[in-house]
Amino acid sequence: MEKKMKLETRAVHAGDRKRTGSWMPVTTPIHTATSYFYEDIADLDKAFDGTIAGPSYSRHGNPTNDALEELITSLEEGAGALACASGMAALHLALMAALVDRRRVILAASALYGATINLLMTVVEPSGAAVVFADFSDEEALVAAIEEHRPGVLLMETISNPILRVAPLDRIAVLAKEAGAQLIVDSTFSTPLITRPMEFGANFVVHSLTKYLSGHGDVLGGVVVADEAGLGPLRTLAKSIGPVLGPFEAYLTMRGIKSFPLRMERQCANACRMAGWLATHPAVERVYFPSDPKHPDAASIKRLFAPGLYGAMVSFEIKGAARPEVFRFMNALEMIVPATSLGDVQTMVLYPAMSSHRDLSPKHRARLGIHDSLVRMSVGIEAVEDIIADVDRALKA
């Protein structure tokens, strides 16, 4: 697939239609085999060591997964990708690959998904890597932190979960390179349609496939996209650890990606409408959304994001609310789904204090700006008027 083709075209065609003799399937088949053999055993030997293309054992590679990885590599314009069993597995693998031959110090953005913070503190740090947090939106403080801690890895999100901060990815990539550190970017919230971190110098990009890319609430998966230097360690670790995605999930993800640009454009447009409407509602204290001209990271957003696209996540604080009032609001919703995910075709709401950042202490959440009145909304593809009506009814309940 030629890179000059637009992302929307690559989403439909990349990875599919591998020729088998004189014919080829229109879509990639689901290859359920765990092992493969060849007419000549010497060819299996070559497949194992990579001198010829072809599968050997599904922990090493599966034709369905290979197609998905080719597709996502094309979207992110990396050197290669590895599909994993979950987004957290993908992030953990990226951290391990990035730390190979590097100082075992991770400088992480303070604004991160709660499960990511938990992974760093309860899994990565006890395994022997030091973890330090810093405000990645404060360039001066970040430079000082890099100079003090000399990290081997920098970790950030394109759009932070759930306050929707947007750190200056392009400048951070330069700082990482100057420090000899690897930059890992979780780009789940922005997707390749809005920004592609590798274009700015990221070494690894991670997505939860569960979210926008598959988009229908029926896949648990993740993916790591790597640059040329990182791809070898990534695949070596994957062969040893085996965090691979199943072929059924790979197929469903590929099917979802074909319509992902259309879905994402609609979701972004709906989210803009929702954010504007919420900002005028008397029951809403504050709205967090990247299109706000007063957003603290407005300059970074203008540089990094595709024109007119700001993501489909909207967070807001209900005036005077604590846990009981937020629960009452969520229980009053009739169409919107109060579930612990995002990026599906349906609109979903989540209470970060209960779910995404549950493992953090109340004081830690407060330092991150995650108050007990905060609700996170993943805006879907429904008619925006119906989304607004449901939220309005629930806020008045």
Which residues are catalytically annotated? Answer: 59, 113, 186, 211
Strands 105-109 and 80-84: unpaired
Largest CA distance in the chain: 73
DSSP state of 225: E
Given a contact cutoff of 8 angstroms between Cβ atoms, the answer to whether 123 and 150 are in contact is no
Burial class, 396, CB count within 10 angstroms (exposed 0-12 / middle 13-18 / buried 19+): exposed
Identity of the residue numbered 271 = A
**336, 387 in Cβ contact below 8 A?**
yes
The answer to whether the beta carbons of residues 59 and 275 sit under 8 Å apart is no
SS (H, E, C) 10-76: HHHHCCCCCCECCECCCCCCCCCCCECCCCCHHHHHHHHHCCCCCCCECCCCCHHHHHHHHHHHHHH
Tell the burial category of 258 from Cβ atoms under 10 Å away from its Cβ (0-12, 13-18, 19+): middle
DSSP symbol at 105? E
CA 27 to mean position of chain CA atoms:
25
For residue 331, give the H/E element and its range: helix 323-332
Q: Over the range 34-55, which residues count as b (16 or more CB within 10 Å of their CB) and which as e?
A: eebeeeeeeebebbeeeeeeeb
Apex CA 166: angle with CA 187 and CA 152, to 5°?
65
Helices 139-149/169-179 angle, 10° precision: 20
CB 167 within 8 A of CB 300: yes
Residues in the chain: 397
Please name the amino acid found at residue 47: A
